[in-house]
Amino acid sequence: MRAIIAAMERHGFVGRLKPEFRDAYIDAHNNISPELVSRYHRAGVHRITLFLLDETLFMYIEVQNWKAAQAALAKDPLDIAWQKLVGPMKDPDFREMQEIFRMELPSR
């Protein structure tokens, strides 16, 4: 019997990382607490990927329900502390991008 997999929402964001915080931002993400990861998972987040090119930061998220995850995490003390840590390292121009194309190829 095949399991039914719910459609995953995909969201991409782009912004600028303040150059003086580059190492601290990378270090923070390389040392994210397992408890925070667990809370993101409980909120429906399945994948977060960050890419950095010079100061341009790209974030890709796969989540069951983006609005529900945002609402859950907005009240979570651990995520609030995380956002206070990493938020000031980014310029406030962090914006969601519009998805214009997706190609998914079948597994072989």
pLDDT tens, 50-76? 999 999 999 999 999 999 999 999 999
Total number of domains in the chain: 1
Residues 6+ apart with CB under 8 A from 54: none
Q: What is the mean pLDDT of residues 24-48?
A: 97
Establish if 97 belongs to a structural domain: no
pLDDT, average across residues 64-91: 96
- Confidence category of residue 7, pLDDT binned at 50, 70, 90: confident
Q: In what order do the strands lie in the sheet with 56-63?
A: 45-53, 56-63, 9-16, 95-96
Separation of alpha carbons 66 and 69, rounded Å: 5
CB 60 within 8 A of CB 10: yes
Question: Is position 101 within any domain?
Answer: no
Domain hosting residue 34, numbered range? 9-90
Evaluate whether residue 102 is within a structural domain: no
CATH number, domain of 56, equals: 3.30.70.1090
pTM of the entire structure?
A: 0.86
